Amino acid sequence: MNTPGRIVLIRHGQTDWNLEERLQGATDVPLNDAGREQARAAGRHLRAEDLGWDVLVSSPLGRAVETARIIGDALGLELAATYDELVERSFGPHEGSRLGGLEGSARELILSAGEPADAVARRGLAALRRIRDEHPGRSVLVVAHGSLIRLTVSELNGEAHPRVRNCEVVPVRTEALGAARLRDDVSESTAP
């Protein structure tokens, strides 16, 4: 297929921990009713755009899978696969901690104890490349998580991406995936 395809990232809908400003990370927290409505609204928006989506995939965490299924219902798409590489950034024992009201060093201490940001970005890029390679020329909706999306898109675009809202749709520059792969290959081949 000669068409380049398209990938769009969507953050899952709201959970109670989002509402309470708790750090979720890889903890499997379910959507709340507001999150389900956000997913339905995202599905209606994507259906109204009528851009011809072919494939729907997600992180394996329940909040992403449920969001994907709700969006899929609106678009007539089944969830095709889940990708472990799309799981949210892990914060280990700090998951469940309240970040609301924390400032400066206290907040940074908790966040810095998590999975390194560059590792999350590499994992996210690997997932996008895999999705692109497994669905060449297709239009793919990918439901994932806020930090993973923000860090991955920041790395891909070479500039900081802002915080991603629940059910926000973030287009991926698929041509940059090829450039990122080329940069990785060149640096690997020139490494001592």
The interaxial angle of helices 146-157 and 117-134, nearest 10 deg, is 80
Determine contact, residues 117/179, Cβ cutoff 8 Å: no
Active-site entry in 66, 85, 88, 155: 88
Distance, CA of 35 to CA of 172 (rounded, Å)? 23
Q: What gap in Å lies between CA 153 and CA 167, rounded to an integer? A: 16
* 94 tagged catalytic: no
| Cβ atoms within 10 Å, residue 34 | 15
Count CB neighbours of 86 within 10 A.
27
- Please state the length of the chain: 192
108 carries an active-site annotation: no
The residues annotated as belonging to the active site are 12, 88
